[in-house]
Amino acid sequence: MIITTLGTNGWFDNENGQTMCTLIRTKNYTVILDAGYGIRRTKPLIDFSNPTYLLLSHMHLDHTIGLHTLDYLQFQLPLTIVVPAGQKQAFEELVRPPYTNPWTKMVPEGSQLLDTEDLASVVLPFGITTLPLQHPVPTHGYRLEIEGKTVTYLSDTGYCENAVTLASGADLVIAECGALPGTVKGKENAPHMEPEICAQLAVETGAGQMVLTHFGAGAYTTMESRMKAAAAARSIFPNLVTGVDNLEIVL
């Protein structure tokens, strides 16, 4: 599979990147993690003859603002959209007039909106486990079993037990790094992580590799600040990759 970090900014777009979106391509299907403005970059990359699954971590705008470009993407097959438990109504309130077109008009007929509780009764072509994360609004992390590999997506969250559970033994952990080094006080209550906390999580869970994403646009104002922060954390966990827009990881 090919994993591409198409949008690696938290909060807002700036010259360093676009808001959150990660693409996972396999031979038979596509998974999109979050729908910040980075989602527009999926268009030339997706094989539209394959089904696509769009998994949303939460409804914060840096993860959903790109939903109003769904009609630009022109999916050919029905799309499956997954939101955290209880968030279907919030999705439908956001993706509708007068803000944008109704979501059902932007995707092919037969597309479905599920929440994480519906997943128990749905057959997907990959394994999926979801757990709530530590963030001010309902937020879920995803652990995906794809082609014999495990990919975990943790955004947005502070360090928490469920993040550890989801990341345990994963081949790749895509972890949010919203905060600058040294700014998270009391990691068990924080809404975001910082590079060293991410690296410690990777060590604790025995992860194979970790890519940092969701660099807070207000905190990481230059690319150098991302690189420097991740370089320091790499002394804790060497297989730590600094996420930048359009970075490809082959698993």
Binding site for Zn ion (CB under 5 A): 10, 60, 62, 156
Q: How far is the CB of 162 from Zn ion (least distance, A)?
A: 15
Q: How far is the CB of 156 from Zn ion (least distance, A)?
A: 4
Pairwise CA distance, residues 113 & 194, whole Å: 32
Q: How far is the CB of 22 from Zn ion (least distance, A)?
A: 13
Q: How far is the CB of 243 from Zn ion (least distance, A)?
A: 13
Alpha carbon separation from 43 to 35, 56, 99, 214 (Å, rounded)? 13, 18, 22, 21
Alpha carbon separation from 226 to 54, 151, 188, 203 (Å, rounded)? 27, 22, 23, 20
Helix (H, G, I), strand (E, B) or coil at 98: coil
Nearer residue to Zn ion within complex by CB, 127 or 218? 218
Q: How far is the CB of 179 from Zn ion (least distance, A)?
A: 11
Amino acid identity for residue 169 in this structure: G
Nearer residue to Zn ion within complex by CB, 7 or 51? 7
Contact 103, 71 (CB under 8 A): no
Pairwise CA distance, residues 173 & 3, whole Å: 11
Nearer residue to Zn ion within complex by CB, 20 or 233? 20
Nearer residue to Zn ion within complex by CB, 19 or 111? 19
Contact 140, 132 (CB under 8 A): yes
Nearer residue to Zn ion within complex by CB, 156 or 245? 156
Nearer residue to Zn ion within complex by CB, 42 or 139? 139
Q: How far is the CB of 63 from Zn ion (least distance, A)?
A: 6
Buried b (16+ CB within 10 A) or exposed e, 54-64: bbbbbbbebbb
Here the tokens at position 234 are 């790499």
